[in-house]
Structure 1
Amino acid sequence: MSDRHAFEPTGALSVETVTRVHHWNEHLFSFSITRPASFRFRSGEFVMLGLPDGQRPLLRAFSIASPSYDETLEFLSIKVPNGPLTSRLQGINEGDAVFLGRKPTGTLVTDALLPGRRLFLLATGTGLAPFMSLIRDPDLYEQFAQIVVVHSVRRVSDLAYRDVLEGQLAGDPLVQDQALLQLHYVPTVTRESFHTNVRIGTLFENGTLFAPPVTGPLELDPSQDRIMLCGSMAMIKEQAAMLDALGFKEGSNAAPGDYVIERAFVG
């Protein structure tokens, strides 16, 4: 249990309460916290989150996994044994306090993309978090005819939210009907036996990502395909280089393009 006396809200930080903790396996967990009434964000953005550390709070950027209309804020995190923050954060329980930044931001938002027909959301590990927010946003289904979520992990147990994604968000009050027709989920596991066990780049090369029920060109097309990348630096560099070679242009909030990455995480 955290000591609430160590938490003092500031102009940049509020103090929120943990409402739920879920451990996916020994090195992956998600948690939800209360949401201030004044807190607004765009689906796909990140915010600073942290715990007290002496005289100054210890903060790190976390993508918000919950949709922008949810009453709570959800996050997905790895457990780093010697990580300055995550080594402590993994031990939080319901009722504990955490610091929350007041200014969400980020480029993994639809505002940074040009209009298109197909949207590929490419994630490794906890890079799935911002995409879980995006795919529960009704506006996404108005902007794109098809949304393909690709999640690459090392082990089967690392496939966070697998049941929700395989069920195409069944039961979601706002998007279940659209997701049933427009959302496609492609998990791949690289270090254990699984029906798909290749890297994301190979999924493009062998045509897996263009197989039915996905329709349209059997290769990436800059005129209609849009891509978001989040996860390991190696994956992002590899896929960004591929997209650049195909004529795709990186976008930003100031100048929308064909694909986006979160510069705050990869530098």
Structure 2
Amino acid sequence: MTEDSKYTRQTVTSVHTWVPGKLFSVRVTRDDAYDFQPGQFARVGLPAADDPDGPPTLWRAYSMVSAPGQPWLEFYSIVVPGGLFSPRMARLVPGDALYVEKAPYGFLTLERFAPGGDLWLLASGTGLSAYLSILRDPAAWSAYRRIVLVHGVRTTEELAYREEIESLARRPDLASHFAADPRKLVYLPIATREALPGMPQERLTTLIADGRLEQLAGQALDPEAAKIMLCGNPAMLADARKLLGERGFKPGRRGIPGNLAVENYW
């Protein structure tokens, strides 16, 4: 395996298309020394388009979808029309190279919070990525009373990983949690341009503001009991952060755990 001091060369093992020309996932090999926490992201690289056999010169940040205990790395991406990176990444095939910096990044991790209470995971679009890593790792299920996952998209075909999320209750290593509480996970897929049974066609921030998100979840957004993660497009993050801040949610600082964590690497 060729590498320099900052990155390793990994091999694509599979590519899954969720929405043709728009959403896809890439799975690659994982270096034995690569260690990360659920919720962190990697910087992945490709060589210049006019030098496909050269060293990586283009780099982008992608949250790990895979859990720390899985022997591969998986990334979920949108295709940015006219972009220099994502359209090429979407065209990768098994056997191709994808370069990964040796150090993981980011602080959208459960270490930001004290354990206990309810964990809310709010995402728009591909912001779902980091939460999949958290949900695939058993630790989160023991640390919190209940987990509420909210995924906002435009259309239902953009609800990537929906089947996996809806089948978590049948995962053997989580059986005891769901036996004790069938509502251990509350999953709210919300599309703004299509009607889903029992779900409003609204933006996540509208649902926070008017109280319907709490009604849908059957849980209160109580800053004394809830911990909230936000990941998604910058406009959603800014609006949600303001709304939640007005309700008493704030990031931790100086070693004091908070009840709000936000990731924005757009």
Tell me, in whole angstroms, the C-alpha distance in 1 between the residues paired with 2:17 and 2:156: 14
Question: What SS does the aligned partner of 1:135 have?
Answer: helix
Matched residue, 1:234 = 235
Between 1:150-159 and 1:48-57, the stretch displaced more is 48-57
Unaligned stretches of 5+ residues in structure 2: none
Measured after TM superposition, the shift of residue 213 of structure 1 is 6.9
1:198, CA displacement in angstroms? 1.1
* Aligned pairs for 1:65-214 within 5 A: 65-167=65-167, 169-178=168-177, 181-195=183-197, 196=199, 197-211=201-215, 214=218
1:108/1:157 CA distance change after superposition, 3 Å:
same
Matched, 1:9 2:3: yes
Three-state SS of the structure 2 residue aligned to 1:174 is helix
Judge conservation of contact 1:136–1:175 (CA < 8 Å) in 2. Answer: no
| Preserved CA contact (<8 Å) 1:121 1:150 | yes
Any idea what the Cα deviations from partners look like across 1:164-194, whole Å, max 9, x if unmatched? 1222x14534334425541110010012233
Q: Which runs of 5+ in 1 are unaligned?
A: 1-6
What is the match of residue 17 of structure 2?
23
Q: 1:257: Cα distance to partner?
A: 1.0
Partner SS state of residue 203, structure 1 = helix
Q: Number of residue pairs matched?
A: 255
8 A Cα contact 1:116 1:223, kept in partner: no
TM-score, normalization: structure 1?
0.88
Distance 2:58 2:65 in 1: 21
Residue 244 of structure 2 corresponds to which residue in structure 1?
243
80-89 or 202-211, which moves further after superposition?
A: 202-211
CA distance in 2, matches of 1:128, 1:93: 23
Show the counterpart of 1:51.
46
Q: Percent identity?
A: 37
Give yes or no for contact 1:137–1:175 (8 Å, CA) kept in 2.
no
Question: Moved runs in structure 1, 4+ residues, more than 6 A?
Answer: none
What is the SS of the residue equivalent to 2:188?
Answer: strand
RMSD (CA atoms): 2.1
- 1:163 Cα shift? 1.1
**2: CA distance between counterparts of 1:177 and 1:83?**
45
TM-score by length of 2: 0.88
